[in-house]
Structure 1
């Protein structure tokens, strides 16, 4: 039987299509196998707070999958309650990073109940123990130096867990160091424009940054009494209120994550007296870079002080 040219062309087209399909399927299979291998090779990290999660993401890059348990400034870390899902995440984690000093105390029993031989646990309070304030202030993430000390331990842990990508982790640690430069720049700008201030806060959340600014941090007793939603004494409240009314300080810092009648009253009193008030948080918004979070809040303080100074000049 003699085939027509059209029939031959049709069979050739079908054959070519089949070859193309087989090659495409092969490529897809190889891609999926590669993606699966990459997913299996990924290091699973859990950060108690997104401040540390952001840092792990910078150092780990594509080699690390990070879950931040507290990742919203709407959550009060002192009132946080863990659930069974968090226990499962910790059980499967290769690396866990937490603050320590009781700030995330709910993590400790979870770590004990989900013991793992392969898991590495890093506490910022241990990494930067030589930099912790004498009063054991637990808000360590407001110290860039403690964050860098913690980052160095994270990089070392990742190198141990994944030696194949050790060079990447070292390079990314250097990159994290560079991200802190704008924080120090914002600090220096603030010191230059508004030096030697006397400040206070509703709770001691910002103390490490206040120390870095070289500002006098006043009324520690009521700050610590108010922490963890404890009730300060009537005498402490009266002294603090009078200081605000008499403008004995140049700035009031309050924690946006603490919502109670006392905090609202303190902020209202400061505003009525003409004292600049700025809200900060213990947790950056999920996905926000650590350094960007710090700079944003420093800029807010700078703007509030600028405005107060301008208002004072206008009389």
Structure 2
């Protein structure tokens, strides 16, 4: 079997996990309208991934309690196995945030298996008309992130109407102050290096290439195949190897959470040709970082690799 098929793993089907979790939660009396923490009065939020969780925690501030499900930088989110504990978290939440577009397909199944009145669900992909099969790495689009911040503030304001203006103010503060270095670094890359040809191991970088103005020349069919855990065509493989061998790209971007021997071989070839390799990850690294610190650190590595 190809090394690129590593995401096909043996595990209990998600539907079975969801149904089992639903039965467990029903037996525990958790199939009811969610409420905030009785002691704190905070809105209880569950994010499927910690990048959306980090943003929500900063928009909501002291008035939200955020729990993210996928937090381990060593976890491949595409093949994450949901647990009854995840279903319990979602059942108790007032607000659930999913990425969508097939990235966290386990999450809507858990929600559907345990319907709860009054729970608000934000599926980020739906905001932008993205569906399964489209590039799901939406948090790598600066434009999408900005829109999601506004939507989160709006949703929190509807759940906790008394603090709606506070959420709006905190979202504005987060955009102008919290994300300033993030936006400034993106602007610096666009101003100094727009049009520069770069390569990547998978589609995680595609949206950010648009945001920074870089020319991502790796065939999209190759990027998508690696992201989906399938074999790229022979023609695409040859094209990527040719771009590296001829030094047709200035920088090679590497998703370290989706690495195979074939991908590592490309990284080694790029390094041997003197092409800087910039590592990227799908989730917060380290796990306790904020969204902006994580993204800005990667962007600054990219800016330096491009020549500053």
Q: Please state which band the TM-score falls in when normalised by the shorter chain.
A: 0.7 to 0.9
- Residue in 2 that maps onto 1:15: none
Q: Is the contact made by 2:142 and 2:211 (CA closer than 8 Å) also made in structure 1? A: no
| Distance in 2 of aligned mates of 1:206 and 1:246 | 22
- Residue in 1 that maps onto 2:125: 125
CA RMSD of aligned residues (A): 2.0
- Tell me which of 160, 184, 192 is aligned to 1:162: 160
Structure 1 length normalisation: TM-score?
Answer: 0.80
How far is the alpha carbon of 1:38 from its aligned partner?
5.8
Q: Is the contact made by 2:156 and 2:167 (CA closer than 8 Å) also made in structure 1? A: yes
How far is the alpha carbon of 1:259 from its aligned partner?
2.4
Map 1:131-280 to 2 at 5 A.
136-178=134-176, 179-218=178-217, 219-280=219-280
Q: Structure 1 regions of 5+ residues with no counterpart?
A: 1-35, 308-315
1:288 aligns with 2:289: yes
SS of the residue corresponding to residue 41 of structure 1 reads coil
User: Runs ≥4 in structure 1, deviation > 3 angstroms?
Assistant: none
Deviations 1:149-198 (A, max 9, x none): 12222112211211122222111111121123322210122233333211
| Distance in 1 of aligned mates of 2:282 and 2:107 | 17
How far is the alpha carbon of 1:73 from its aligned partner?
2.2
| Distance in 2 of aligned mates of 1:275 and 1:37 | 51
| Distance in 1 of aligned mates of 2:173 and 2:162 | 19
Once the two structures are overlaid, the 10-residue window that deviates more, 205-214 or 192-201, is 192-201
Q: Is the contact made by 1:73 and 1:256 (CA closer than 8 Å) also made in structure 2? A: no
How far is the alpha carbon of 1:306 from its aligned partner?
2.3
Aligned residues: 269
SS of the residue corresponding to residue 69 of structure 1 reads strand
Q: Is the contact made by 1:243 and 1:249 (CA closer than 8 Å) also made in structure 2? A: yes
| Distance in 2 of aligned mates of 1:274 and 1:266 | 12
Structure 2 length normalisation: TM-score?
Answer: 0.82
Deviations 1:229-261 (A, max 9, x none): 212123322221122111121111110101211
How far is the alpha carbon of 1:66 from its aligned partner?
0.5
How far is the alpha carbon of 1:72 from its aligned partner?
2.8
Q: Is the contact made by 1:201 and 1:252 (CA closer than 8 Å) also made in structure 2? A: yes
Q: Structure 2 regions of 5+ residues with no counterpart?
A: 1-35
Q: Is the contact made by 1:127 and 1:153 (CA closer than 8 Å) also made in structure 2? A: no
| Distance in 1 of aligned mates of 2:121 and 2:290 | 22
Higher helix proportion (structure 1 or 2): 1
SS of the residue corresponding to residue 118 of structure 1 reads coil
How far is the alpha carbon of 1:211 from its aligned partner?
0.7
SS of the residue corresponding to residue 111 of structure 1 reads helix
Q: Is the contact made by 1:144 and 1:180 (CA closer than 8 Å) also made in structure 2? A: no
Q: Is the contact made by 1:46 and 1:90 (CA closer than 8 Å) also made in structure 2? A: yes
- Residue in 1 that maps onto 2:10: none
Which of the pair has more CA radius of gyration?
1
Q: Is the contact made by 2:57 and 2:64 (CA closer than 8 Å) also made in structure 1? A: yes
- Residue in 1 that maps onto 2:302: 301
Q: Is the contact made by 1:123 and 1:150 (CA closer than 8 Å) also made in structure 2? A: no
| Distance in 1 of aligned mates of 2:149 and 2:185 | 21
Q: Is the contact made by 2:51 and 2:291 (CA closer than 8 Å) also made in structure 1? A: yes
- Residue in 2 that maps onto 1:79: 79
